[in-house]
Chains A and B, each alone.
Chain A
């Protein structure tokens, strides 16, 4: 158990809908990272937040947004969902702001868009 929790574990929704994925980092970690894992694209970095502020951005679509709250939990919002958004979404956390620290991954949320 990494200490990172993600909810829900599974999510099934329809095209055009909007969903919110939630992540709670390990106690004491200030950074939260979001990743998307699909069969064709592999594991792709989406976005990083550090202590409530956006720190780095990767291949995140404009339809996707995220935020980190004062209690350090984070939410990833996916809107106008398309079939291609079906994937595993992982959140990871680390203590500091640099990516050169060990990231601890949560168990993921499996999203299926029908």
Chain B
């Protein structure tokens, strides 16, 4: 089906720790995946993407891991900061459109 879901709706992480946000996708035809960050009152902001011919991609303080065998995507944020507080969406591209997951809210504990 056309669903992209996240395992946890809310994730609380201590400031300075690493955050791991998980996502399950269901469409085997998807070969491109994206993570977006949405801060309160703003539109989604691109973080990082990965194509299906890769299993890992690194950006600045973020890493995306793709496991095609179990249709699982994760976003790792290193040394989580207060500014990382937001809702994170994974999205997949099975054709000519992007399908977004429901989102995970990342809450940073002081």
- B-binding residues in A (CB < 8 A): 2, 4, 42-45, 48, 55-56, 58, 90, 92, 99-100, 102-108
Contact = CB atoms under 8 A, between A and B. Distances in A.
Contact of A99 (B89, B93, B103): B93
A106 B97 contact: no
Output the residue of A90, A92, A99 with the most chain B CB within 10 A: A99
A103 B41 CA distance: 18
Contact of A103 (B32, B42, B46, B101): B46
Nearest to B93: A99
Contacts of B99: 45
Given A99-B93, A100-B32, A100-B93, A108 B100 contact: no
Interface residues of B, number: 19
B100 A58 contact: no
Contacts of A99: 32, 93, 96-98
B100 A43 contact: yes
B67 interface: no
Interface string B83-96: 00000010001001
A58 B96 CA distance: 9
24 contacts: A2-B43, A4-B43, A42-B102, A43-B44, A44-B100, A45-B98, A45-B99, A56-B96, A90-B43, A90-B44, A99-B32, A99-B93, A99-B96, A99-B97, A100-B32, A100-B49, A100-B51, A102-B46, A102-B49, A103-B98, A105-B44, A105-B45, A107-B42, A108-B43
